[in-house]
């Protein structure tokens, strides 16, 4: 290098002491890796041009292959000699990884608390490498770097501007004091939950705890199903609970909380706000009047609801609808109410109160009419009949109360073991007519009498054929 060129360069010596807690690789010629527990005296030739954006000097630490998430520690430096510029993570597999460092300058010293964040693409067999970038504060630099970390294999320092970097002396030095640094940790103990409301305030809450620093909250919202997120600026935006006012325009919006502790950021699960659709009730069939005597009778309503859950509450009135009382017996909260068909309930009115959300609708009113239970009285029984030609008749006399009397004659040709409905003359009247044929000799006849739910059979009469 000639004198003209030399005038453009300024030589200075930077004594960089890098002490770490680890078993290290053998010393190589710089800028190869040097034993991490040695003192390195290096000579750097630096161009006098303005400092580059990335700095003047890079100090590299080579770690033993371990979990990326466990790489954390502290680096001490003299702030009057060098200025921290940045940090970078790399590895022997040519990967580039995310690293963070929090500078803390106090007095003449500077401390970098650093963390290597696993990007999920780290090769376990690769060797992690941390690079710390510094800019020289002055022209004559003599400084010391100390690393508090227990898994460093080796280290080296390099000029970023092409100057030479030569080890002029290597002596064994005791390891530097270990720095204490805890990687921040955030644990979410309760996630925000979906919420539904048609009015008023709605809140979303996250519960979390942090270690290694203070926990901060920043709620975010999304109106496009999570494609993009915007910082929330409403009530509680920087607390554990955010509050919004329910409106139809926000239906389907998502929220989440960004939790930060130092260099660690964790997002909560997303929660959705739902604005309920308008509630309506449609009655598809009304209860009808019923008549009965004895047993039970039913009142039934058909209905559907949109925007809510449909509930039933039957009511009754015994004073013509002036006052209504909640029914508490069978079917009181279903679509069908069951009532005992007693004389005391004659004229009782029933209706159903239908509710869905804040909407209420009443069915039409239906009335119960009492009718005495049907009964049948046989006043005269059919008698035996004889004949050899023409026809013979069997007659029954009967009355019915509480219903309409019907007749159904039957006959048997096997002594009453089985009975067959008669279809000849008078089969559904009080008198049955039969042809007086020899083939019908000893035919038996009886009448089945019905009124409502009541049924009664007459006595049996016999046809005798007389030649």
List the domain boundaries for the chain: 11-172, 185-274, 280-370, 375-465
Q: Please tell me the distance from the alpha carbon of residue 93 to that of residue 90, in angstroms, as a whole number.
A: 8
What pLDDT shows up at residue 13? 29
pLDDT exceeds 60 at position 20: no
Assess whether the region 185-274 and the region 375-465 belong to the same CATH fold.
yes
Neighbours of 313 (CB within 10 A): 16
Architecture of domain 185-274: Sandwich (2.60)
Q: CA 383, CA 393: separation in Å to the nearest integer?
A: 9
Contacts of 374 (CB under 8 A, 6+ apart): 293, 400, 401, 402, 403, 451, 452, 453, 454
Classify residue 461 as exposed, middle or buried by CB count within 10 Å of its CB (0-12, 13-18, 19+): buried
Note the pLDDT of residue 62. 64
Residues 375-465, CATH architecture: Sandwich (2.60)
Cα-based distances in Å from 4 to 7, 9, 109, 161, 163: 5, 9, 38, 19, 17
Residue 213 scores a pLDDT above 70: yes
Q: Which two tokens stand for residue 461?
A: 């009469």
Residue 115 pairs in a beta bridge with: 72, 100
Percent of the chain with pLDDT over 90: 49
H, E, C per residue of the chain: CCHHHHHCEEEEEEEEEEECCCCCCCCCCCCCCEECCEEEEEEEEEECCCCCCCCCEEEEEEECCCCHHHCEEEEEEECCCEEEEEEEEEECCCCEEEEEEEEEEECCEEEEEEEEECCCCCCCCCCEEEEEEEEECCCCCCEEEEEECCCEEEEEEEECCCCCEEEEEEEECCCCCCCCCCCCEEEEEECCCCEECCCCEEEEECEEEEECCCCEEEEEEECCCCCCCEECCCCCCCCCEEEEECCHHHCCCEEEEEEEECCEEEECCCEEEECCCCCEEEEEECCCCEEECCCEEEEECEEEEECCCCEEEEEEECCCCCCCEECCCCCCCCCEEEEECCHHHCCCEEEEEEEECCEEEECCCEEEEECCCCEEEEEECCCCEEECCCEEEEECEEEEECCCCEEEEEEECCCCCCCEECCCCCCCCCEEEEECCHHHCCCEEEEEEEECCEEEECCCEEEEECC
- For residue range 315-345, list pLDDT tens digits in order: 999 999 999 999 999 999 999 999 999 999 9
280-370 falls under which CATH superfamily? Immunoglobulins (2.60.40.10)
Asked whether the beta carbons of 149 and 112 are under 8 A apart, the reply is no
Q: Which of 31-45, 135-149, 220-234 has maximum average pLDDT?
A: 220-234
Q: Look at residue 297 in the predicted model and tell me its pLDDT.
A: 95
Tell me, what's the pLDDT at 261? 85
With CA atoms as reference, report the closest residue to 220 among 263, 271, 264, 261: 271
How do residues 337-371 score in pLDDT, each as one tens digit? 999 999 999 999 999 999 998 899 999 999 999 98
Determine the Cα–Cα distance for residues 319 and 332; give it in Å rounded to an integer: 20
Q: How far apart are CA 178 and CA 34, in angstroms?
A: 20
Tell how strand 420-421 and strand 406-412 pair up. Answer: antiparallel
**Residue from 40, 265, 50 nearest 154 by CA:** 40
Each residue of 46-78: pLDDT tens digit?
Answer: 333 334 455 566 666 666 554 444 456 666 666
Distance between CA atoms of residues 34 and 30, nearest Å: 7
What token pair was written down for 161?
Answer: 């501007």
Q: What is the pTM of this model?
A: 0.39
Of 393, 392, 426, 397, the C-alpha closest to 409 is 426
pLDDT, tens digit (0-9, with 9 covering 90-100), for 167-182: 233 222 323 333 344 5
In this structure, is the dihedral angle defined by the CA atoms of residues 223, 226, 230 and 234, taken in order, positive or negative? positive
Residue 414 scores a pLDDT above 50: yes
């Amino acid at each position: 290098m000639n004198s003209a060129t030399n005038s453009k360069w300024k030589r200075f010596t930077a004594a960089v002491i890098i002490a770490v807690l680890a078993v290290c690789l053998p010393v190589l010629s710089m800028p190869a890796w040097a034993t991490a527990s040695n003192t390195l005296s290096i000579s750097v030739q630096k161009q006098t041009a303005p400092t580059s954006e990335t700095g003047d000097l890079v100090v590299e630490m080579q770690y033993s292959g371990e979990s990326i998430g466990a790489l954390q520690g502290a680096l001490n430096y003299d702030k009057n000699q060098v200025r921290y510029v940045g940090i970078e993570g790399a590895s022997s597999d040519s990967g580039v990884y995310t690293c963070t460092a929090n500078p803390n300058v106090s007095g003449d010293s500077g401390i970098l608390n650093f963390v290597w964040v696993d990007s999920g693409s780290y090769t376990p067999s690769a060797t992690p490498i941390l690079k710390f970038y510094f800019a020289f504060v002055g022209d004559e630099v003599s400084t010391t770097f100390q690393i508090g970390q227990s898994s460093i294999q080796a280290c080296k320092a390099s000029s970023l501007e092409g100057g030479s970097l030569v080890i002029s002396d290597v002596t064994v030095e005791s390891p530097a004091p270990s720095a204490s640094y805890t990687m921040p940790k955030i644990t979410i103990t309760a996630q925000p939950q979906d919420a539904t409301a048609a009015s008023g305030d709605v809140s979303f809450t996250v519960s979390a705890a942090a270690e290694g620093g203070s926990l901060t909250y920043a709620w975010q919202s999304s109106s496009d199903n999570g494609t993009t997120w915007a910082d929330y600026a409403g009530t509680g935006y920087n607390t554990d609970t955010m509050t919004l006012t329910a409106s139809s325009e926000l239906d389907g919006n998502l929220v989440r909380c960004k939790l930060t502790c130092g260099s660690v950021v964790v997002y909560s699960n997303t929660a959705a706000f739902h604005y309920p659709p308008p509630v309506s009730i449609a009655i598809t069939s009304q209860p009808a009047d019923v008549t009965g005597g004895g047993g039970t009778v039913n009142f039934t309503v058909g209905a559907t609801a949109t925007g809510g859950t449909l509930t039933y509450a039957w009511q009754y009135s015994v004073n013509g609808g002036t006052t209504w009382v909640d029914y508490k017996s069978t079917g009181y909260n279903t679509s069908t109410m069951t009532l005992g068909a007693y004389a005391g309930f004659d004229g009782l009115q029933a209706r159903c109160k239908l509710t869905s959300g804040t909407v209420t609708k009443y069915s039409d009113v239906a009335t119960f009419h009492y009718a005495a239970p049907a009964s049948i009285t046989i006043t005269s029984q059919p008698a035996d009949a004889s004949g050899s030609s023409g026809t013979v008749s069997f007659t029954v006399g009967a009355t019915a109360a509480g219903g309409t009397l019907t007749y159904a004659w039957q006959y048997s040709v096997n002594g009453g073991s089985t009975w067959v409905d008669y279809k000849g003359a008078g089969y559904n009247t009080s008198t049955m007519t039969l042809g007086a044929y020899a083939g019908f000799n000893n035919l038996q006849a009886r009448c089945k009498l019905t009124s409502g739910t009541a049924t009664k059979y007459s006595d049996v009469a016999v046809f005798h054929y007389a030649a």
